[in-house]
Chains A and B, each alone.
Chain A
Amino acid sequence: MKAVKIKDLSFSYESQGNNPADKTVYALDKINLELDAGKKIAFLGANGSGKTTLFYHLNGLNLPQSGEVEVLGLKVSKGIRKELRKKVGMVFENPDNQLISTTVYDDVAFGLRNYRWSEERIKEKVHAVLGKVQAEELVDSSPYNLSWGQKKRVAIAGVLAMEPELLVLDEPFSGLDPRVTKCLLALLDWLNSEGKTVIISAHDVDLAYSWADEVVIMSKGSIVNHGTPDVLHDQQEMEEASLDTPILAKVFQTSPFWPQNTAEARSVVERLLEGQS
């Protein structure tokens, strides 16, 4: 089943410049894309490549100016936005843009109250999701004075609480230290193992290479390539998209081996050394 089907999607922002000669800027230019349900998908692209603009279409924050977007069987349009947002959870890059309530509890409960959950159910759910993101001790804290990593976890909890089928995270690892990044990756893996489709955007090609089942490369509002992480091997294509090739791909590019993470790479090297000795 397809989680996302996009057909000939175009979207533009009105030019903000003072120069009358400035044309409309196409943030998305005739995008065609299908994403399988239940996968871990990483969108890669330089700043301004259109990743966030595309993400905003997945839960109806942007409506297609031309073309069609279908998410989890629902055609994105004005009328179904509220229903869509129950199924598609979006975590914004800057958690400060997402945290609005005076306590962590109320912030996580915010989405649930919008959908008229009872307070008993809310209480159960809030504690459950805060436990999942290892933030239960923050339940009565003010969200405004938390550390960046804590804010990120609370922001994710606020979206997870709504039990989305598709989770979209815009640069979830930006500003996180390695320990918190590892915890977040483990959480995303767990969510995927529960059947959720997880979509992230990232600049870290090595992370995307080792983590994702599918990769989408975007550049200047278009999709350059889409497929398994092997598509990141094409150095020229990556350079044109202002991205770097994954380190493992660079190291092993002249070999017949394509390890996707350090464990696989180590295993390849050990086999090679055994073979030599």
Chain B
Amino acid sequence: MMGSNGHMTGDAWRPDLYSNLSSWGHAWDTRAKIIALVVFVFGVVTLNSIYPLMLSFVLVLLAVVSVKIPLFFLVKRVKWVLPFLIFIFIGLILGRGLGNIHDSLYFGGTVSLKALTSLTATLLVLGTQSLEKFLKGLAQIRLPRVIVSVLFLSYRYIFMFREIVQDTYRALLSRGFSNGFSIQTLRVYGEITGALFIKALDRSEIVLKSMEARGFDGSIPFHSSSERPLDAKDMIKTLGVLMVTGLLLWLDRGVI
């Protein structure tokens, strides 16, 4: 993300980078997609057996491929979860002892698959329409407006924060600073972290003023016209996900 010359990548990290493609996932109504995602994720999280979890992960991967989102794009985002999963494994093994290593690995495996499957499914949903449309979808399924506004502004602030980090880092480099783990560099990191948050707070106040100057009254106005009504294809896709979720739960509770 941050090169040694202080440059950050452009838009490549945005989750909706491939939202302009054309596929069954892109054509799926956002509201229906969100509902399907929530049901699917809740279902996956309640699975206990490793084989239904593996199956759910494979199905989601196939879905990602079918909506034409590049796998490397997915891997780049999912990889950030891996260190946490490794810590979970280590914690489980050390906590339960080497005598129970099979149980620890099994449990760690189920947790990891749940995390990876849920994350992949979420990235699939985020990646198949613009962020604006996604937030509008959240508002339309009656998620409280204040939460949607907070999500929207948080996303905006990521860019703002990124710029502030970039500018600060460039300023450091131009005065001879180099990365490292000495007491001095750690002190610098601490100081600039504090300064970054203060700058971000300052900036956010001005951003709010500029929004108020254009009539903002506390909730982000999305398109006043609604999307096209839900059609049969949307319903079929949503029901399909619900049925797959049900099947996974049945497999989990039943046989395997």
Contact = CB atoms under 8 A, between A and B. Distances in A.
Interface of A: 56, 59, 61, 81-82, 85-86, 89-90, 92, 94, 96-98, 100-103, 106, 110-111, 113-119, 142, 144-145, 158-159, 162
Nearest to A115: B215
The 4 closest A-B pairs by CB, nearest first: A114-B215, A111-B214, A113-B221, A98-B210
12 contacts: A85-B215, A92-B206, A100-B207, A101-B132, A102-B130, A110-B211, A110-B221, A114-B214, A118-B224, A118-B225, A144-B159, A145-B11
B84 interface: no
B163 A59 contact: no
Interface string B32-72: 00000000000000000000000000000000000000000
A103 B212 contact: no
Given A85-B212, A85-B215, A142 B203 contact: no
Give the interface SS of chain B, mostly helix, strand, loop or mixed: helix
Contacts of B222: 113
A110 B130 CA distance: 16
B3 interface: no
Contacts of A116: 221, 224
Contact of A61 (B10, B163, B209): B209
A200 B222 CA distance: 31
Given A113-B221, A119-B225, A96 B163 contact: yes
A158 to B, nearest CB: 7
Interface residues of B, number: 28
Interface in B203-256: 203, 206-207, 209-217, 221-225
A119 B224 contact: yes
Contacts of B213: 59, 61, 85, 89-90, 92, 159
A100 B221 contact: no
Contact of B214 (A94, A110, A119, A144): A110
A159 B214 contact: yes
Contacts of B151: none
Given A102-B130, A114-B214, 11 more contacts: A82-B217, A92-B206, A100-B211, A101-B156, A103-B130, A113-B222, A114-B215, A114-B217, A116-B224, A119-B223, A145-B10
A86 to B, nearest CB: 7
Given A94-B206, A119-B223, A86 B215 contact: yes
B74 interface: no
A103 B133 CA distance: 12
